[in-house]
Amino acid sequence: MAPRIQLEKAAWRWVETVKPEDIRQEHIELAYRVNLPACKRGACRRNCKGNPNCLVGIGEQAWLGEIDENAFHNIDDPNSERRDKNTFVGLTNLGATCYVNTFLQVWFHNLELRRSLYQCHNSRAQEHNVESDYEPQSICEHLQYLFALLQNSNRKYIDPSGLVKALGLDTGQQQDAQEFSKLFLSLLEDTLSKQKNPNLQNVIQRQFCGQFSYVTVLPQNFMISHWVCLKENNIKLLYLSTLQEEKLDGENRYFCENCQNKQSATRRIKLHSLPPTLNLQLMRFVFDRQTGHKKKLNTFISFPEQLDMGPFLEGKQDQKCVYELSAVLIHRGISAYSGHYIAHVKDARTGDWYKFNDEEIEKMEGKKLQLGIEEDIAETVKSQTRKPKCSKGYHCSRNAYMLVYKVQEEESADPSRTNVEVPAFLQRLVDQDNHKFEEWCSEMADMRKQSVDKGKAKHEEVKELYELLPTKDGEPYEFIPLDWLKKWLDDSTATKEIDNSLFLCSHGKLHPDKVGESKRVSRQAAQLLYERYGGGPRLDDSSLCRECVGQRCRVLRLKNQLNEDYKEVSNLVKRTLSGEGYWVGKASLRSWRQLALEQLEEDEHETKHSNGQTNGQGPHINNSKDLSEGNEDEMKTFNEDIVCSHGGLSILETERKLVSSEVWTKLRAYFPKAPEFNQNQESCQQCLTLEQEEKDNEAVSKMMALDQKNQLLNLFHEKNRPTLTKWPQGTDILYIVPLFFVDEWRKFIRRPTKSSPVSNVGNTLLLCPHGGFMFTYDSLINGDAQHIALLWPNEWEVISRLFIVDQPISIHCFKQTTPSGLTTEYTTQPDLCWECRESFLFQQQRDLREYTQATIYIRKVIEDKRMIKEAAPEMNASSSEAEEEKEEHPKVDGEKDPDFSQIMHAFSVAPFDQNLSIDGKSLTDDSATLGSLGVIPESIICLKADEPIADYAAMDDVYQVRMPEEGFKGTGLLGH
């Protein structure tokens, strides 16, 4: 079958010769590709999306032959979780607990330890009701139950989370395995020591403890012995050279307690007794002094299968000295902080070696230890050294972490020596867990069978229905989504209902563009599918949309004709107009081809439920090359640029052009809903009225502005203005208005057509809530005058006549002769409100004293010369005698004040040499804030220094000592 694009073109090739009004049923069926030949199996590699009749390659191949029943379920065989015959039980890795699992397996295979644990008293387990789950509490109870499961569980592996949780271990963090082993055995030793049975109280000592002593011999043959208990973590047993005599001389001489003097001596270790089990730690992890971290030693170590300790044992006549290798713990990895632990353990009953790797357990071939690949995993490029040859009876390893040796026993026919029976009270709990496991296996098997049965039924259903899918010529048919059919063939257990809603056009029928995503099937097959799975809406042969096909036909024809029409329209608009014409926006005329192309593309790709834009309502045009600058960038619809806000013809004749009816007919074909205005169409009367009103208003505003300017000419030009500092002669009254009013009035006078006229004088802005004036004569002179403007009495008469004044405000000057001379008094009308004035001043002072960011200057006085320098620690003091710098210092509330060091580093003056003052007042209170001392923004603090310290390190030390512990509140005191 031809590719999808070729099928798409072929489906609409007929539009070149057929007009929309001439479309017949055969054209509609061509557009929907109803009559395309169906693909045959084997001829189509993958499904043809462009062909609704292609029903191959949609997933049916998996159902047409014999199918393995395992394809009908995703449930693993529960028997794969069952323990194999004649093997051991594994332990689940809870995240990073492999080191725990390896030790548990080693301890489990210590038959004496296991037998002793089983003998521990456990009333909770003995009295437990098997109707509920058993939950151990103590470490001993957990270990008892865990060992019983490891021995007789039906499971392939068990979960040690109960014990791990009881030990308080972090399952996501790998602990130091050696430390864990030592601490756990100590904990177990303490637990067993509390047992009533005396044979259990010293199990750990009997199994893992011996004795040795340090013997120091002085020249006078005086011997000093230090006895030490030999614990399981004593590494020195492996390095036999450490058991040889050591000379103590030179700097390393022995200090004798008796003579209180250093003496040359010899020292050696004497072994007095050895335990049945030797746990030899190989010290793989050592401290690297250069990096400050642990590192792993990856060197090869050779160790024997049999270890004879006789030559190193004192008084060995009654002790067994030959040990056999029984376990090797491996640490795979090159880092001391990561890696993986596994255990190779020898079965005490059979002599076979097993590898315990968490859940996985592997039996080694033969009767020999085989480390094999364990030695390759840790190798890196730098550490790839050749494995040394091992002597007979020896093994070599670079990853061995701990060796376990057991004393060699004489062969005995007594099976009780190697057989450890699980006590009845523990076996009852194991049987309970085995019963739960068997129930789970049965449940999983039933679920597998149910899935298989459903799959087989679905298999028969699919085979039956798939044969009914193809439709025959002349028979009724329906369309089904391709994706649904694929999921129906892929999902062997459940399928959602059929959903055709995404395939609908705006007319509620099948959209022509969605044919490639659907398949045409027989009505019989469709009926069965809808009965079994439901859904809708159903799309049959009556769902082919004539409207969409007609619209697509029109769009495709216009797209093919667009370039030709564009050339013709361009030529026609250049001709002289004769006859009736139509108004077209100049911007629309320049960009109509781009608008038409985008409109046609939008119509062509119209999606389902689209109530979107049709002809004449095209998309927003942005950054089009055909558009000119101006309001054309905002144009959305053809010819909208000459439509006013009232929907009529725009009154701007310069933005439109009159074109012939022939041009308009061609444009109308692309934009059938575009606004139409013929030559006789009058411009919008509302716009004309508004235009005239605007012109009238502008004329009135100009006249008003000219009149006000002529009456207040000095105020406008800001000439001949009265001042308070030099009261003008000839008047005893001046009027006050807000400066904001004057500024707004001047804006109107300058641009009367662009600015709004001012109608009110808002003097209440200068009054308090009680109607009193907020400023005094003195405050106006000292800075408050920035908020007001002063007027002459004649100006006030004009202001009162031209504007609405809410409250007159004036200031009066009274002069009178007194015995002491001529005095002048100034009053305001309304009177000053002292209550509000004091509140205003209080808030103003408070704002000055409470700040979080401000600039404060420090002036250092040097022998009648002054140097002004901002206390900035990041800047060096200048060598010049006087220098000014300014820098803002942000201060966060609660932060310790840093300004001691700022002054110290800026002026080389330590805190105890700083004498600070402001306005002659010394700043000596270390607990005060800047605000309480009157230090406001822009203040200048004088610094007089005692003899400065040149040593900055010494100053820093003093600063650390003198710095108050809690810092300073507010902005903080700069220094003392």
DSSP annotation of 276: S
H-state helical runs in 782-887: 793-802, 834-849
Mean pLDDT (the chain) is 79
pLDDT reported for residue 312: 78
DSSP annotation of 901: H
- What is the number of other CB atoms lying within 10 angstroms of the CB of residue 736? 23
pLDDT reported for residue 895: 39
Q: Which residues pair with 332 in a beta bridge?
A: 340
Is the torsion defined by CA of 738, 740, 741, 743 positive or negative? Answer: positive
Is 789 part of any domain? yes
Do residues 307 and 320 both lie within one domain? yes
Do residues 855 and 823 both lie within one domain? no
Q: Which residues have C-beta within 8 Å of that of residue 527, sequence separation ≥ 6?
A: none
pLDDT averaged per 10 residues, the chain (length 976): 76 89 92 88 76 86 68 72 89 89 91 89 83 85 91 92 88 81 85 85 82 74 46 39 72 81 83 85 80 82 87 75 90 82 90 91 85 58 62 86 87 71 90 91 87 78 83 90 88 76 91 90 92 91 92 86 86 84 90 83 58 36 36 65 90 90 88 89 91 90 93 93 89 93 94 90 89 86 85 94 93 86 88 81 68 76 50 33 37 42 70 78 75 74 69 41 33 35
* CATH number of the CATH domain containing 925: 3.10.20.90
Length of the chain in residues, anyone?
Answer: 976
Q: Which two tokens stand for residue 950?
A: 């040149």
Q: Which residues have C-beta within 8 Å of that of residue 844, sequence separation ≥ 6?
A: none
- What is the number of other CB atoms lying within 10 angstroms of the CB of residue 701? 18
Do residues 778 and 907 both lie within one domain? no
Q: Which two tokens stand for residue 793?
A: 């009495």
Q: Are 184 and 164 in contact (CB under 8 A)?
A: no
Q: Are 715 and 739 in contact (CB under 8 A)?
A: no
Between β-strands 940-945 and 857-862, what pairing exists: parallel, antiparallel or unpaired?
A: parallel
Q: Which residues pair with 916 in a beta bridge?
A: 943
Q: Select from 715, 731, 649 the least CA-distant residue to 685.
A: 649
Q: Which two tokens stand for residue 607?
A: 């999606």
- Which residue type does 93 have? N
Q: Are 857 and 938 in contact (CB under 8 A)?
A: yes
> What CA–CA distance (Å, rounded) separates 734 from 788?
12
Helix (H) or strand (E) holding 583: strand 581-585
Domain count, the chain: 3
Segment 168-182, tens digit of pLDDT: 888 888 787 888 888
Do residues 719 and 753 both lie within one domain? yes
Do residues 707 and 819 both lie within one domain? yes
> What CA–CA distance (Å, rounded) separates 600 from 672?
12
Tell me how far the alpha carbon of residue 912 is from its chain's centroid: 51
Is 668 part of any domain? no
Which residue, of 812, 846, 880, is where some domain finishes?
846
Q: Which residues have C-beta within 8 Å of that of residue 365, sequence separation ≥ 6?
A: none
Q: Select from 584, 618, 588 the least CA-distant residue to 600.
A: 618
> What CA–CA distance (Å, rounded) separates 436 from 963?
71
Q: Which residues pair with 477 in a beta bridge?
A: 522
> What CA–CA distance (Å, rounded) separates 237 from 217?
22
Q: Are 99 and 342 in contact (CB under 8 A)?
A: no
> What CA–CA distance (Å, rounded) separates 526 from 538?
9
Is 394 part of any domain? yes
Q: Which residues pair with 178 in a beta bridge?
A: none
> What CA–CA distance (Å, rounded) separates 635 from 619?
9
> What CA–CA distance (Å, rounded) separates 530 from 507?
23
Do residues 836 and 899 both lie within one domain? no
Do residues 241 and 367 both lie within one domain? yes
Q: Which two tokens stand for residue 577?
A: 């107009």
DSSP annotation of 317: T
Do residues 216 and 352 both lie within one domain? yes
Is 629 part of any domain? no
Between β-strands 477-481 and 518-522, what pairing exists: parallel, antiparallel or unpaired?
A: antiparallel
DSSP string, 365-409: STTS---GGGGTTT--STT--PPPPPPTTEEEESSEEEEEEEEPP
Helix (H) or strand (E) holding 742: helix 739-750
Cα 94 to Cα 100, 103, 170, 362, 435, distances in angstroms: 10, 15, 10, 20, 24
- Which residue type does 648 have? G
Is 274 part of any domain? yes
Do residues 761 and 858 both lie within one domain? no
Q: Which two tokens stand for residue 766?
A: 């200068």
Do residues 722 and 817 both lie within one domain? yes
> What CA–CA distance (Å, rounded) separates 67 from 77?
18
Q: Select from 483, 522, 489, 488 the least CA-distant residue to 503.
A: 483
* CATH number of the CATH domain containing 362: 3.90.70.10
> What CA–CA distance (Å, rounded) separates 408 from 138?
34
Strands (E) across 170-284 are located at 210-217, 223-230, 246-248, 254-256, 261-263, 265-273, 277-281
* CATH number of the CATH domain containing 826: 3.30.2230
Do residues 834 and 701 both lie within one domain? yes
Cα 126 to Cα 129, 134, 361, 424, 765, distances in angstroms: 9, 11, 31, 9, 93
Is 774 part of any domain? yes
Between β-strands 400-407 and 322-332, what pairing exists: parallel, antiparallel or unpaired?
A: antiparallel
Q: Which two tokens stand for residue 311?
A: 């030559």
> What CA–CA distance (Å, rounded) separates 46 from 3?
11
- Which residue type does 845 have? Q
Which positions are annotated as active-site residues? 98, 340
Q: Which two tokens stand for residue 442?
A: 């049965």
pTM for this prediction: 0.48
Indicate the Cα dihedral angle 641, 647, 653, 654, nearest 10°. Answer: -20
pLDDT reported for residue 616: 37
Q: Which residues have C-beta within 8 Å of that of residue 184, sequence separation ≥ 6?
A: 103, 167
Range of the domain at 219: 211-372+390-417
Q: Which two tokens stand for residue 803?
A: 């504007």
Q: Which residues have C-beta within 8 Å of that of residue 558, sequence separation ≥ 6?
A: 596, 600, 669, 670
Do residues 247 and 394 both lie within one domain? yes
Helix (H) or strand (E) holding 818: strand 810-818
Is 561 part of any domain? no
> What CA–CA distance (Å, rounded) separates 632 from 705?
36
Is 821 part of any domain? yes
Helix (H) or strand (E) holding 190: helix 177-192
